[in-house]
Chains A and B, each alone.
Chain A
Amino acid sequence: MDNTIAFTGLTKSFGRLPVLRQVGTTIGSGQVVGLFGRNGAGKTTLMRILYGMIGPDAGQASLLGLDPQAHPVEVRQRVGLVSEECHLYPWMDANALETFLAPLYPKWDRELFRRHLASMEVPPDRRVDALSRGTKRKLMLSLALAAQPEVLLLDEPLGGLDAVVREQIVTTLIHSLTDHGVTIFLSTHEIEQFAKVCDRVIILSHGGFLVDRETAALTDQVRRVTATLEHPVEAVPAHPQILSARAHGTQVEFVLNGFTQETADAILANWKVREVAVSGLTLPEIFIAFTAGKEEVS
C-alpha cells in the first residue's frame, strides 16, 4: 500500500488538554477510510493537522508524500477539504466563488463544477447566505471536487443534513470514487451512514485509535455471545477481549472483539451453560461497544 495519507506519532494538546496522543496510520490510494469518534474526540483537529492548518505538537504527517505545513500550496492544490461549518464568503454565489478559486487550482475543471452543481441541485447564482445548510455543503463539495483533488478530507460531511441531501452527497462521492479514484478520509460520529462507503474504519477515543480495521473484518470479528445459564450470576468476569458485558439473572451477554470459538468457550467455562447463541452486531452497535462508558472531553 502506498502512502497517500500517512501520519505517525501525531500528538496535539490544547493547553493541558491532550486531544491526540501519538496516533498514526497509513492510507493508500483509492481507499475510503472513516474516522469515527464521539463529539469532541479530536476528529476535526486531526483533519486540520493533515491539511496543514495547525501544527502538531509532535509527530509527522504526510499527504501525497508532502508535509502539509512545509508545502501548503502544493498539498492544498491536490487535497480537498470540506469542513462541517461553511466558511465561504456569504456575499458570494457559486459563480463568484468559481471566479475566485479557479485561478488558484491548476486542475480546476469548469465543466465538472457545473455538472456537480446540476446533479446536486445547487443554484449557481444565489448568494451563499441565502442557501440552506445542505445546499451550502453541496456547494462546498462541488468546489472541492472541481479542483480534481487526489485526496478528499471530509469533516462530518453529512452532519445535520436531511435524507435527500445525504443521498445526493453520497452519490457524488461514489461517482468521484469510480470516475476519479480519489482517496477519501472522512470523519463522522454517525456511523451507519457510511457503512456502505468506507472500506476501513478507525475509531478515535481518548486521543488514541481504538480500532483501525477493514469494515468487513470489523463486522466479522466483533460478535455478541448470548448465553442462558443454570444459575443466576452477578457479573461477567473481565477479559481483555470483552468490549461490553451484561448479566441479568440467568442471562449473560458479552461482546467479544476478535471472536473465536475458543475464546468464547473459555469465558463460558466460568459457568454452567444451558444455551448459547452467537450473533453479529451492526456497526453502530460495534461503535458503542468500543466507546461507551468512556466520556470524551470537548
Chain B
Amino acid sequence: MIKVDETAPVPIYVQIVQGFKREILRGVFGPDHRLPSIRDLAVELKVNPNTIAKAYQEMETQGIIYFKRGQGAFVAPGTEEERMKEARTEIKRLFGEILAIARSLNLTDEQLQSLLNDLLAGRTHGPKARKEA
C-alpha cells in the first residue's frame, strides 16, 4: 500500500506519486483500476487533500492516470515495455544511490559484488529475501 514518510527529505506528493508508480509496476493496480478518491486517501494517509490532489495532478501530467469526469481517477493503460523501461531506469537510479553510499563507506568493488551475490542467492528463499531487498 501507499505509505508516506514525513521525515524523508522527499516532498510528500512525490512520495505518493512514487508509491503509486511502484504499486502499478507490481501489478497491484491494473490498467483502468480506479484510484481511491482524494478525500479517502487524504483521510487514510493523514495527508492534506491538496497534496493528494497535487500528486494526482502530477500523475496525470506524467500520463500514469487519467480522470473521468464525475467518477474519479483511473490507472492509464500503458505498454508493458514502457513500464519495464521506467522500472529499469528506476532500478538503475537506485543502484546508483547504493553505489554512492558504498563508496562513501569505502567499500571495495569486490565487497560490493559479494554482497550482491549473497542477496541474489537469497532470492531463492522467497519472501524473506524480498523483505531484505
Q: Which residues of A contact B (CB under 8 A)?
A: 30-32, 167, 170-171, 174-175, 177-179, 192, 195-199, 215-216, 219-220, 275, 277, 279-285
Contact = CB atoms under 8 A, between A and B. Distances in A.
Given A174-B42, A178-B42, A277-B100, A285 B9 contact: yes
A75 B4 CA distance: 36
Interface residues of B, number: 25
By CB atoms of chain B within 10 A, which of A177, A192, A198 has the most?
Answer: A177
Q: Is the interface of B mostly helix, strand, loop or mixed?
A: helix
Contacts of B38: 178
B100 to A, nearest CB: 6
B69 interface: no
Contacts of B51: 196, 199, 215-216
B104 A197 contact: no
A281 B7 CA distance: 9
Interface of B: 4, 6-14, 38-39, 42-43, 45-51, 54, 100, 103-104
Given A216-B14, A277-B100, A282 B50 contact: no
Nearest to A197: B48
B14 to A, nearest CB: 7
Contacts of A198: 48
Nearest to A226: B104
A42 to B, nearest CB: 25
B50 A32 contact: yes
27 contacts: A32-B50, A167-B46, A170-B46, A174-B43, A175-B43, A178-B42, A179-B39, A195-B12, A196-B4, A197-B47, A199-B48, A215-B11, A215-B12, A215-B51, A216-B13, A216-B14, A216-B51, A220-B11, A275-B104, A277-B100, A277-B104, A279-B9, A280-B9, A280-B10, A281-B9, A282-B8, A282-B9
